[in-house]
């Protein structure tokens, strides 16, 4: 993670030099939060209840008994997602620490991360985080933007739309070049960013559930502030 952040910081610097227009435009973009970024506000009981309702609603809809082939929808708002991150993420990670450890995944948010936010616009979904690698560093906001690839009669896939520092886009080519220079030989050889993007774009969105069922995401409709997932449930049980 630290290596990626160092590469990302280098990428911002290189991109700023390339994109420097009008005496500081790139610097301004790199230090300007995304449009959906909101300053930290005191957590209210309303936000806590909103987060709990979302945490209960999503698994309830996913595991609800349905007819084979039934199509259904689930809408999640940006406000709900961010309320959950703010009030429930740490508890959720802690409650699943054994499951996460078995998969070599962290059971807590790394200390270098400050505020984390989800942004949903009519064009993309984004996950943004305030990052401070060293104690004396100025926190920077990094984000990853994902947009759905909705194709008739096919399962929805996702496309890596952009990686940004502030509002400044970091081209994938620059990330790869910097990994080759500052990363390990294995990272450079494996082209980790390109392969991650390819894997995301080639992987259909499906969810396996208990009870011999599989859920296919058929469409993700985005509006400013909300995402609606159209899903179809199939039985994977054998008739024998």
User: Where on the phi/psi map is residue 84: left (φ > 0), alpha (ψ -120 to 50), or beta?
Assistant: alpha
Per-residue pLDDT tens digits for 11-67: 555 555 555 544 466 666 777 889 999 876 667 888 899 999 999 999 999 989 899
Q: Give the containing element (helix H, strand E) for 202.
A: helix 192-202
Structure tokens given for 223:
């509006």
Query: Are 153 and 171 contacting, i.e. CB atoms less than 8 angstroms apart?
Result: no
Centroid of chain to Cα 90: 16
Closest-CA residue to 116 (of 148, 90, 147): 90
Q: What's the whole-model pTM score?
A: 0.79
Non-local (6+) Cβ contacts of 167 within 8 A are 29, 30, 32, 33, 34, 35
Query: Quick one: pLDDT band at residue 213, thresholds 50, 70, 90?
Result: confident
Long-range contacts of 206-213 (CB under 8 A, 24+ apart): 206/155, 207/62, 208/236, 209/62, 209/63, 210/63, 211/63, 212/236, 212/237, 213/66
pLDDT given for residue 232 in this prediction: 95
Query: Are 153 and 163 contacting, i.e. CB atoms less than 8 angstroms apart?
Result: no
Beta-ladder partners of 118 = 127
Which of 37-51, 111-125, 179-193: highest mean pLDDT? 111-125
Structure tokens given for 81:
């997602």
Q: Which residue has the higher pLDDT, 229 or 196?
A: 229
SS3 195: helix
Place of tokens 């961010």: 82
Per-residue pLDDT tens digits for 143-171: 999 999 998 888 999 998 888 888 888 76
Average pLDDT of the chain to the nearest whole number: 81
Centroid of chain to Cα 239: 38
């Amino acid at each position: 993670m630290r290596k990626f952040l160092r590469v990302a910081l280098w990428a911002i610097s290189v991109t700023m030099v390339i994109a420097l227009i009008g005496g500081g435009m790139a610097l301004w973009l790199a230090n300007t939060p995304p449009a959906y970024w909101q300053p930290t506000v005191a957590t209210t009981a309303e936000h806590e209840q909103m987060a709990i309702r979302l945490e209960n609603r999503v698994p309830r809809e996913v595991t609800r008994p349905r007819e084979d082939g039934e199509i259904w929808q689930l809408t999640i708002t940006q406000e709900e997602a961010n309320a959950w991150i703010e009030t429930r993420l740490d508890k959720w990670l802690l409650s699943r620490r054994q499951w996460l450890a078995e998969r070599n995944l962290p059971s807590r948010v790394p200390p270098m991360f400050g505020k984390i936010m989800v942004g949903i616009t009519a064009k993309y979904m984004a996950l943004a985080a305030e990052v401070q690698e060293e104690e004396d560093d100025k926190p920077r906001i990094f984000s990853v933007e994902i947009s759905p690839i909705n194709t008739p009669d096919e399962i929805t896939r996702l496309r890596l739309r952009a990686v940004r520092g502030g509002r400044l886009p970091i081209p994938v080519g620059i990330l790869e070049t910097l990994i080759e220079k500052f990363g390990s030989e294995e990272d450079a050889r494996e082209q980790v960013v390109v392969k991650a993007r390819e894997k995301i774009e080639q992987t259909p969105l499906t969810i396996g559930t208990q009870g011999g069922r599989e859920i296919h995401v058929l469409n993700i409709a985005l509006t400013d502030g909300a995402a609606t997932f159209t899903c179809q449930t199939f039985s994977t049980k054998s008739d024998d």
